[in-house]
């Protein structure tokens, strides 16, 4: 049956998505549906399968079974760069910026893909500087990425993702290494991003999850344990036993 793609249709759907490593079921038949404009958080204990799941969504990990649909199109067999072209951007759990390039050049590599044909250096510079400012790195363009504090490297990676003008931005542990003040700014940034894009967020910081997410998906042992609003997840006895420790 053909997938439906309209204003009310999910932006992202997975159906029976699975990944096995030998005898280990890292992700086991996950059905996920994410609406357009949603901030969806995926939480769970270490080893629950969260990073493997988003790795299959962005194409960096090949699935063992199941399908990934994006805007109604089956993208299960597409390579990662083809998914980027369709509007999926992913930041890694461990920062993956180009350490030997400046902040400006890191973002410019992504930004130039989205500029109109014939755009010049001035247009590129404006977009890069605006994107750096959006994530709180205004004026850091000439700074070598390797000299940034780890938390700022995480923000630079978010800037790279934003420069791709994504329809879906996947963030894996984005607040890791950020100070409390920076986390406040990050939460404001995510709300701003969500006005134009859908956000899929893997995060262990529960105050951030409960503040930002429209809905929360809880994974445990490679499968979905529960889904709901932050209030529903907080009150769920199974989630409390498996993850929240209450």
In total, how many domains does the chain have? Answer: 1
pLDDT tens, residue by residue, 21-49: 988 899 999 999 999 999 999 999 988 99
| Domain annotation covers residue 215 | yes
Largest CA distance in the chain: 57
Looking at the domain assignment, is residue 9 inside a domain? yes
Residue 102 lies in a domain: no
Q: How confident is the model at residue 2 (pLDDT cuts 50, 70, 90)?
A: very low
Using the predicted structure, report yes or no on whether residue 246 has a pLDDT greater than 60: no
For residue 190, being part of any structural domain is answered with: no
Q: Average pLDDT, whole number, for the chain?
A: 91
Q: Is residue 148 part of a domain?
A: no
Of all residues in the chain, what percent carry a pLDDT higher than 90? 76
Q: Indicate the burial class of 12 (C-beta count within 10 angstroms; 0-12, 13-18, 19 or more).
A: buried
Range of the structural domain that residue 237 is part of: 1-87+168-176+200-246
The model's pTM is: 0.89
Output the pLDDT for position 5: 58
| Non-local CB neighbours of 164 within 8 Å, separated by 6+ positions | 84, 89, 110, 113, 114
CATH of the domain at 234: 3.40.50.300
67 within domain boundaries = yes
User: Is residue 41 included in any domain, yes or no?
Assistant: yes
In a domain, 113, yes or no: no
CB 168 within 8 A of CB 198: yes
């Amino acid at each position: 049956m053909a997938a439906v793609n309209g204003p009310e249709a999910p932006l992202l759907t997975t159906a029976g998505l699975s990944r096995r490593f030998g005898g280990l079921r890292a992700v086991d038949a996950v059905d996920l549906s994410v609406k357009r404009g949603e901030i969806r958080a995926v939480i769970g204990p270490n080893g629950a399968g969260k990073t493997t799941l988003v790795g299959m969504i962005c194409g960096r990990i090949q699935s063992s079974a199941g399908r990934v649909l994006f805007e109604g199109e089956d993208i299960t067999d597409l390579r990662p760069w083809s998914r980027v072209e369709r509007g999926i951007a992913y930041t890694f759990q461990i920062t993956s910026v180009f350490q030997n390039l400046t902040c400006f050049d890191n973002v410019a590599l992504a930004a130039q893909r989205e500029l109109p044909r014939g755009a010049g250096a001035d247009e590129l510079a404006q977009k890069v500087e605006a994107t750096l400012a959006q994530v709180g790195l205004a004026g850091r363009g000439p700074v070598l990425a390797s000299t940034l504090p780890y938390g700022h490297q995480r923000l630079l990676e978010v800037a790279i993702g934003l420069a791709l003008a994504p329809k879906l931005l996947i963030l894996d542990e984005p607040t890791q290494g950020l100070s409390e003040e920076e986390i406040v700014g990050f939460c404001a940034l995510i709300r701003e991003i969500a006005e134009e894009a859908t956000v899929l967020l893997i995060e262990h910081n529960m105050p951030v999850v409960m503040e930002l997410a429209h809905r929360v998906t809880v994974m445990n042992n490679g499968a979905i344990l529960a889904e709901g609003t932050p209030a529903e997840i907080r009150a769920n006895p199974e989630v409390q036993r498996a993850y929240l420790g209450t």
